[in-house]
Amino acid sequence: MKNQKYSIVIASIGRACLYKTLEDILCSSKLPDEVIIVLPHSSDFVLCKQYIECDVNICILHAAKGQVKQRQLGLRNCTSDIIIQLDDDMRFENTLLECLVYEVLENPEIIVSPLICDHTLDCRTGVEIGKSRFLRFLFGADGNKELLGVGYISKIGLAIRPSSLTGKDLVRSDWLPGGCMAYHKKFSTADSEILSPKGKFYGEDIINTHIMKKKGATLFFAAKLIIRTDFVSISSVKDVLPHFRLMIHIQEITLGKIFYIRTILFCLVRYFYQSLNRFK
């Protein structure tokens, strides 16, 4: 592998899980040149001595609270041409970062992400479309894209998982998860105008990669690479309206067509489904 430096950017609120992610980074087969952690101004998170004295430059910056603003500050301060952006709760094998960097070195025009799984290794990347006619209608399924086996954005703005992943290396997609992706800094969204809502940002993955595609990037899943994280269902009624608004925004920028009734129905069904599962 070429001796190419790379930077890691982590937007975090300073949760304890960040230390586990740092441990995995420092055990990697190819260490980054720098790790930039961006915390909200209100955070009292401090690095332990072992991370201050390690062989990697770990830098802490502060920004206005919000994943978009924090990540953009980190991206603006990167010194390497290759960037890996991570969430603060990602666990991975020691070769994962090296493999992602290798793919970008081989083709600087692509952005690549691993598959996101839970800690039982069940794939949780995007939404899996089943065969139910009602759900396919509700989710806004695209049969042509599924036949191609690519990841895509549905009619109502859902990130749909590629339908064919087994035995594949790189699989095309119209979106990638923001929790882990590698790319050349020319595709950075550091100075892009991105909607930055308070609280949970449901459409960040789609909106962020949509901007990157407009810059000329081609998106791929590295289907043999896996990263693990926790998945927590959100079922609060206060989340229904912001989720609806962001799905409408995604429909506007990706399709130029809005499906109001179907989106309302989806948000309500999702809320009631998660509420029922929470009490099981």
User: How confident is the model at residue 277, as a pLDDT?
Assistant: 65
Q: Which of 36-40, 107-111, 119-123, 214-218 has the weakest average pLDDT?
A: 119-123
pLDDT mean across residues, the chain: 90
Alpha carbon distance 174, 125 (integer Å): 13
Alpha carbon distance 156, 255 (integer Å): 9
pLDDT at 1 over 60: no
Please, is 70 exposed, middle or buried when counting C-beta atoms within 10 Å of its C-beta (0-12, 13-18, 19+)? buried
Alpha carbon distance 244, 260 (integer Å): 9
pLDDT at 53 over 90: no
CB-based contacts of 113, cutoff 8 Å, min separation 6: 176, 177, 180, 181, 182, 219, 220, 221, 222
User: How confident is the model at residue 80, as a pLDDT?
Assistant: 96
- Highest mean pLDDT among 24-38, 49-63, 119-133, 155-169 belongs to 24-38
Confidence of residue 245 (pLDDT cuts 50, 70, 90): confident
> ∠ CA(45), CA(49), CA(50), 5° rounding?
110
Average pLDDT for residues 255-266, to the nearest whole number?
92
The residue among 217 and 163 whose pLDDT is bigger is: 217
Model confidence pLDDT, tens digit, residues 115-138: 999 989 999 999 998 889 999 999
The residue among 89 and 273 whose pLDDT is bigger is: 89
Given a contact cutoff of 8 angstroms between Cβ atoms, the answer to whether 187 and 217 are in contact is yes
CB-based contacts of 106, cutoff 8 Å, min separation 6: none
pLDDT at 234 over 70: no
